[in-house]
Chain A
């Protein structure tokens, strides 16, 4: 297996981290040297023209040249680069790797690899995995971790730094960045993120990732899109994702004060918050929803079964609720995009006030009947407004159940009728006339249908619940 290790880097801070932290850990015996015994490889460092001489002169880069071919390439002549330009560089490097039949490895410049992580990834790719995700990780404060690494170098300009995974996890906890701390379940404040953690006292952290960060791929097989996410051409089982930090782990460095402006006071990262963030177009990927359930242990000790079992039980419940929330949010977004402004507003109300994951558990198939804007006259009638006001929760739940049915119930063929119970147990019918017009309960025309995750959504031009009963 031919390996193309690619680093995209520019700017003093990132170059400093590359030189003092990333490359020393990459060059530790269990990483690059172990890989090079098995596989031919080259290291490509892509940068801007301005930084090319400085990178070329780095002690770490010069030392690595004794191990493998190292190419420092100016990928841009510009002085000021967009922060996401590395994605375009990675894409180009992927095409070049494909042309030479190599596997592409994108190595972030601002991480510290645990000993053995790179060899694990290469082994997995050589065994047939099509892609690999960045390992379980802890974000750490660069100011203090950099100082720790300077001490390890003891005044030498450069040396490989081998840190075993468990020691690296301990470092991760000692230098933990507040952005990671805010992503731990139980934290009072929150921050938008694509991962979350559960504390396992005395052992480490349990980790769940809700969208992938690609670290390696076979460019001849895998497609990528957006923020270098996989495009669905491979399944989760074909992707390497270390679920134990003993296999693969890194620390991601970040200045202490970075992104404090993202801090949301008294808004913890609960399953709905993370479901919403994971549904963002940049984060929404075919693998993300399933990936959340592949929990990874980040540990600094021999596993003590009891605390892990307890944390995993909590996490599995959380993941189930997260996945249900994600399905519901996807449905809500689809309804809004379909132009049902009022339907999406009432669904948003229900999502806020009712425990929808309990009503519609993850993956449970259901048919939803969502009123179009034609079904809800303006201004809002008093009985409908009351659903949104304090005291209206029971009526809201009742109305919701009248607009949902367990199972999938497509419109029957012309001239046919289908009957089934609604979520409130009352009988419901779908009848399609010879002209193909389908009515719900013999009165509400279906204006269109959508399939979103486990839901079949019929857009209906009339409300289905008993409004007099709800008003009472």
Chain B
């Protein structure tokens, strides 16, 4: 990654979004960090900070994207419920809360994920969640690419990426490839697929693997719950603080002649 922003205006906007996200993150700001984030330090220090900023900003943007993503689903749920009940959706008392995601929260989530990836192409959460949106839109191959990129960036996503790609391939009628991916997803001792076990059984059945299918149908009796990773808080609680500490150290040690951390 170049230390010089490819698109200064967009990066500036990203700085703005970063600040808004930072303020809502309920973390007391250190005056030194604030000053540095405002860009009042020497250019060399800014350059030394920039990769860290990109990572931190990308993760925050991915978090914010996930919030819009949730709103998209909550709106779908509530719109449908109001139709079932024969009630006008605008009568919902918290319509203003649901409207926080903008006119199209899905589009907004997508924009935030893409912006996060522009800042940090290794942002696993942005890849994974973007893949979920693409999968919902039927963009199977593009979704699979981002699921795999999430797994490349962070090993924790591997089993979920294999699972989701496998199910996508199964839906697309590519049973054999689906079977390969799903077998890999199963690995040793994974019990995180909870209520998806029946779907896994169906896919393995179509892939011609009777033993695996039978195993999944029996495992569907277990009590494990499937927590969708797109909404799970996967970061350690201190990731943001740790990045800020790292950023502070970078500022303190980087003088006008400090080496560019990117080399």
Contacts and interface: CB of A to CB of B under 8 A. Distances in A.
Nearest to A281: B223
Contacts of B220: 276, 348, 352
B214 A189 contact: no
Interface string B59-89: 0000000000010011011101100111100
A202 interface: yes
B97 A144 contact: yes
Interface string B188-217: 000000010010011001101011011101
B223 A280 contact: yes
Given A261-B227, A352-B201, A345 B218 contact: yes
A352 B202 contact: yes
Interface stretch (A118-126, A381-389, A414-422): A381-389
Contacts of A264: 195, 226, 228
B228 A265 contact: yes
B7 interface: no
Interface string B94-107: 10010000000000
A380 interface: yes
B167 to A, nearest CB: 11
B84 A145 contact: no
B195 A348 contact: no
Interface in A229-275: 256-257, 260-265, 267, 273
- Most chain A beta-carbon contacts within 10 A, residue among B85, B87, B211, B232: B85
A180 B81 CA distance: 9
B69 to A, nearest CB: 10
- Most chain A beta-carbon contacts within 10 A, residue among B77, B202, B217, B221: B77
A176 B217 contact: no
A6 B98 CA distance: 35
Contacts of B226: 264
B93 A175 contact: yes
Contact of A345 (B84, B198, B217): B217
A257 B70 contact: yes
A385 B221 contact: no
B231 A348 contact: no
A47 interface: no
B221 A262 contact: no
A336 B218 contact: yes
B83 to A, nearest CB: 9
A178 B74 contact: yes
Contacts of A345: 214-215, 217-218
Contact of A265 (B73, B205, B208, B215): B73
B96 to A, nearest CB: 8
A274 B123 CA distance: 37
B225 interface: yes
B205 A189 contact: no
A187 B211 contact: no
Interface string A5-37: 000000000000000000000000000000000
Contacts of A184: 81, 84-85
A265 B93 CA distance: 24
Given A174-B92, A261-B227, A349-B217, A189 B85 contact: no
Contact of A201 (B85, B205, B218): B85
B217 A380 contact: no
A187 B74 contact: no
A181 interface: yes
Contact of B93 (A145, A187, A342, A389): A145
B213 to A, nearest CB: 5
A173 B86 CA distance: 11
A249 to B, nearest CB: 17
- Most chain A beta-carbon contacts within 10 A, residue among B81, B208, B225, B228: B81
B244 to A, nearest CB: 25
A37 to B, nearest CB: 34
B157 to A, nearest CB: 16
- Most chain A beta-carbon contacts within 10 A, residue among B86, B93, B220: B93
15 contacts: A144-B97, A173-B85, A180-B81, A181-B77, A184-B85, A188-B80, A260-B70, A263-B77, A329-B221, A344-B218, A345-B215, A348-B218, A379-B211, A380-B211, A389-B213
Given A143-B94, A380-B214, 4 more contacts: A178-B74, A178-B78, A199-B81, A265-B228
Kindly list the 9 A-B residue pairs having the minimum CB-CB distance in the complex, ordered from nearest.
A201-B86, A348-B217, A181-B81, A385-B210, A345-B214, A144-B94, A388-B210, A199-B84, A144-B93
